[in-house]
Chain A
């Protein structure tokens, strides 16, 4: 791509994009702005999903690319160019919407990341004493009392917590089974923390009433999808790899081989479409409560189904 000191020719395409800084408000250059945005969006997706490292990918790079994608998605949403994802095949071929459709499933749940309430407090009185670093090891759910957040604060949808917690306690059980590299205190601290976290979740399983069952998938995409954070942990590129590997190692992995993030073979491996029911059955043993296939949960899995189909196609 880049010569060693030789003349490097830019693509004309890129030249047009890179010429100057364009703002979305310029008339004729709005098209090139959109084009540039689209290109960057595609590049970002490729970077995240085609990376096949032997070593862990750089967290900083992943975070920056992720932020880029979120920003573009926010922009697209605000511009109202959001197209329904599951519309019938009669949809006109539109490069913009196609690409957006591709990307949508992976990031819809990131549209407005809600802040978890600060009452998920760890049992350690962090303010008053130094925390040994050993207690932080492999502790995905370790919380710190003051977490910096630059973005706008949004009230967390209550539905987020129930599914997350049943799942999270399942993950914690699995985590406990794994040898902790440091002290046994780490495990004890975690289970203590988990007990306190499981409480608020168990009381509220059902989705808030504001979201009727009959909603179309389209309007659903505008809201943060409850439970998607953990269900789509396999497509969530920021999830701790440790837990993903632990979780999926114990179950039939043929369903999850499509996942580019956790699978060592990368995005090009075999893509097995998963039906929502199969997924549901697999997850059932890992939840500490009976997983009643409540409507929103099932809808999410249907979307997961579509996500996978789209990823197969991409």
Chain B
């Protein structure tokens, strides 16, 4: 159960880890995106080498309820290949920037995967039976001489080893001059948007040779460019509403019904700068790296370099909550600028519970648990509970390898005397960053990606 009923914090346990053990990370293995499908049965990861790996959860044995099903490899395929742009004399990376699942309509699964320039719709289907007993063909495929056929039989399906096939069904190309940072499927399940640094395009899933530009912030003179689009997402319920965030810390909500080109926003969300925190790096750390609507669609969450903010869509002038992810880095911004860490794009995610709450009847004692999660450095990740206002820092490392052992909370010592078990800021490993995390849509299972490993944690079941 999801812990509704208030009070009990979730106790997270290590479940599994996927990926190479060596410290030497092959660049192609760097995980670049993680996404559960709508049922949570499938978990997809994309990497810098352009590959997609899908894990499937084992169907749990109902009688043996001490742990949920494990995730095992279901399908692996090469989604994107590196390309060369001859016009600009530059390589187009095959790195998968985002994966988004379509809701399941039939036996097959569909997902969208994108690199910097091209979006692809992949169909993942199972084959576990094959026809046998053809009249005109031998079992090995050779054709029989028709004159030797004396009787007729009806071919029958016989079971075979499960084969999972991935095939590209649509390729949406040539619509983005700049690098695609987001894709988002509309609640109509027919259209989706793709956003690059300066433009957002609207596609129909069936049509690949045409997309429509709905946002364009490219200035006539590129030298006047001071702001770029960093993320975009469709509203989960309203199919004409979407938001996009910028490098200046603003979020714009647009309604596609207002005009064909949504250059004028319906709402502009921006928090005025805190003058006491002003520094050279104020703008850079305000740049929003991710934006996610809550499942209900009433709130949205943004991630900037140091914090996570929850916004009520009805209030534009400030967020309703702000959570500090790693405030101790504020005094280190100059070094983080120098080594480029300040440009790291952390993602964030909601837990899956609030969607369930809408559809079930609530007892008055039920308080829906709303938790948000995001990553940090040193392979730490953080969770913030909106109701209790408590937060926790956990670490994804192979040292906490025992399943069903509750993870020990971590603490970073910002300054002064370091207590036992605390880690000082200066000891943090800035090469170990957790940028991508995902939460199972229905259960308390989370997937956390370190540089090249995928960790799966579950709550401790009694």
Kindly supply a per-residue 1/0 record for chain A positions 16-45, scoring 1 wherever the CB is within 8 Å of any chain B CB and 0 otherwise: 011111010000000000001101100100
Among B179, B219, B287, point to the contact of A147 (Cβ < 8 A). Answer: B219
B355 within 8 A of A: no
What residues on A are CB-neighbors of B179 within 8 Å?
A: 56, 58-59
A128 at the interface (CB under 8 A from B): yes
CA distance A21 to B276 in the complex (A): 9
Q: CB-nearest residue of chain A relative to B339? A: A1
Which of the segments A93-101, A110-118, A252-260, A276-284 contacts the partner chain?
A110-118
Q: Contact at A39–B221, with CB atoms within 8 Å?
A: no
A210 within 8 A of B: no
- Let me know if B197 and A60 touch, CB within 8 A: yes
User: Contact partner of A21 among B279, B332, B340, CB < 8 A?
Assistant: B279
Chain B proximity mask over A234-250: 1 for CB below 8 Å, otherwise 0: 00101111100110000
Q: Which of A1, A142, A144, A242 contacts B88 (CB 8 A)?
A: A242
| Cβ of A123 under 8 Å from chain B | no
Chain A 47-60, CB within 8 Å of chain B: the 1/0 string?
A: 10000011110111
B247 contacts the other chain (CB 8 A): yes
Q: Is A286 an interface residue (CB 8 A)?
A: no
Do the beta carbons of A136 and B213 come within 8 Å of each other?
A: yes
Asked whether, in the complex, the Cβ of B283 is within 8 Å of the Cβ of A147, the reply is no
Cβ of B161 within 8 Å of any chain A Cβ, yes or no, is no
- Chain A proximity of B168: nearest CB distance (Å): 20
Q: Does A12 contact B (CB under 8 A)?
A: no
Q: Quick check: A130 and B214 within 8 Å, CB to CB?
A: yes
B362: Cβ under 8 A from any A Cβ: no
Q: How many A residues are at the interface, by size bracket?
A: 35 or more
B107: interface (CB < 8 Å): no
Tell me what chain A mostly uses at the interface: helix, strand, loop, or mixed.
loop
- Considering the complex, give the chain B residue whose CB is closest to the CB of A47: B340
Which residue on B lies nearest to A117, using beta carbons? B220
**Do A113 and B224 form a contact, CB below 8 Å, given A40-B280, A40-B337, A68-B283?**
yes
Q: How far is the CA of A40 from the CA of B335 in the complex (A)?
A: 10
A63 touches B213 (CB 8 A): no
Binary contact readout B311-334 vs A (1 if CB under 8 angstroms, 0 otherwise): 000000000000000000001111
Inter-subunit contact B337/A43 (CB<8 Å): yes
Which of B199, B220, B338: most chain A CB closer than 10 A? Answer: B220
Of A18, A40, A151, the residue contacting B226 (CB under 8 A) is A151
Within the complex, what minimum Cβ distance (angstroms) separates A257 from chain B? 14
> Knowing A64-B247, A64-B287, A137-B177 touch, does A147 contact B213 (C-beta < 8 A)?
no
Q: Please give, as numbers and ranges, the residues of chain B lying within 8 Å of A152 by CB-CB distance.
A: none
Q: Which B residues are CB-close (under 8 A) to A240?
A: 222
Other-chain residue from B199, B223, B284, B334 in contact with A17 (beta carbon distance below 8 A): B334
Known: A120-B220, A151-B226. A18 touches B89 (CB 8 A): no
Given A64-B284, A68-B280, A242-B88, A146:B199 Cβ within 8 A: no
A269 within 8 A of B: no
In the assembled complex, A87 has its CB within 8 A of some CB on chain B: no
Stretch at the interface among B128-136, B182-190, B422-430: B422-430
Q: How far is the CA of A134 from the CA of B444 in the complex (A)?
A: 43
A79 at the interface (CB under 8 A from B): no
**CB-defined interface of A164-188 with B at 8 Å, one 1/0 digit per residue?**
0000000000000010011000000
Could you say which residues of chain A place their CB within 8 Å of the CB of B226?
Answer: 63, 66-67, 150-151
CB pair B260–A2 under 8 Å, yes or no, is no
* Most chain B beta-carbon neighbours within 10 Å: one of A53, A128, A130: A130
A134 to B220, CA, bound (A): 18
The listed residue with most B CB atoms (<10 A of its CB), out of A18, A63, A140, A236, is A63
Chain A residue contacts of B201, Cβ below 8 A: 133
Residues of A within 8 A of B225 (CB): 63, 66, 238
User: Which of A3-11, A288-296, A302-310 binds B?
Assistant: A3-11
Residue of B nearest to A146 (CB): B263
Q: Are A178 and B260 in contact (CB under 8 A)?
A: no
- Known A-B contacts A6-B427, A131-B212; A239 and B175 likewise in contact (beta carbons under 8 Å): no
Q: Which B residues touch A155, using CB under 8 A?
A: none
Pairwise interchain contact B335-A126, C-beta atoms closer than 8 A: no
Please determine whether A63 and B247 come into contact, CB atoms closer than 8 angstroms: yes
When the two chains form their complex, are residues A60 and B337 in contact, meaning their CB atoms are under 8 A apart?
no
- Partner among A43, A109, A128, A137 whose Cβ is within 8 Å of the Cβ of B338: A43
Q: Within 8 Å of chain B (Cβ to Cβ): is A132?
A: yes
Bound complex: CA A302 to CA B335 (Å): 37
The residue that A236 contacts in the complex, of B223, B228, B334, B340, with Cβ under 8 A, is: B223
Task: Give A151's nearest chain B residue, CB to CB.
Answer: B226
Cβ-defined contact, B429 with A5, below 8 A: yes
**Cβ 8 A contact of A131, one of B87, B260, B334:** B260
- Bound CA–CA A18/B90 (angstroms): 37
- Flag if B426 contacts A8 (CB, 8 Å): yes
CA distance A238 to B219 in the complex (A): 11
User: Which residues of B from 209 to 235 have beta carbons under 8 Å from A?
Assistant: 210-214, 216-228, 230
Q: Any chain A CB within 8 A of the CB of B278?
A: yes
Give which listed residue, A5, A55, A131, contacts B93 with CB less than 8 A: A55
Contact with A along B153-194 (1 / 0, CB 8 A): 000000000000000000000111111000000000000000
Asked if A150 meets B279 with Cβ closer than 8 Å, knowing A56-B88, A132-B211, A245-B89, the reply is no
Q: What is the chain A residue whose CB lies nearest that of B289?
A: A60
15 example contacts (A-B, Cβ-Cβ < 8 A) are as follows A2-B431, A4-B431, A5-B378, A54-B91, A61-B340, A127-B261, A130-B214, A131-B261, A133-B176, A133-B213, A138-B87, A142-B216, A147-B220, A182-B174, A246-B87
A-B complex: 5 closest residue pairs judged by Cβ atoms: A130-B212, A133-B175, A146-B263, A133-B211, A59-B197
| Chain A residues close to B by CB (< 8 Å) | 1-10, 14, 17-21, 23, 36-37, 39-40, 43, 47, 53-56, 58-61, 63-64, 66-68, 71-72, 109-110, 113, 115-116, 120, 126-138, 140-151, 178, 181-182, 229, 236, 238-242, 245-246, 264
Give the A-binding residues of B (Cβ under 8 A).
23, 87-93, 116, 174-179, 197-199, 201-202, 210-214, 216-228, 230, 247-248, 259-261, 263-264, 276-280, 283-284, 287, 331-335, 337-340, 343, 378, 426-432
- New A-B pairs, 6, CB < 8 Å, besides A137-B174, A142-B218, A144-B261: A4-B431, A5-B429, A60-B287, A64-B283, A134-B175, A150-B227
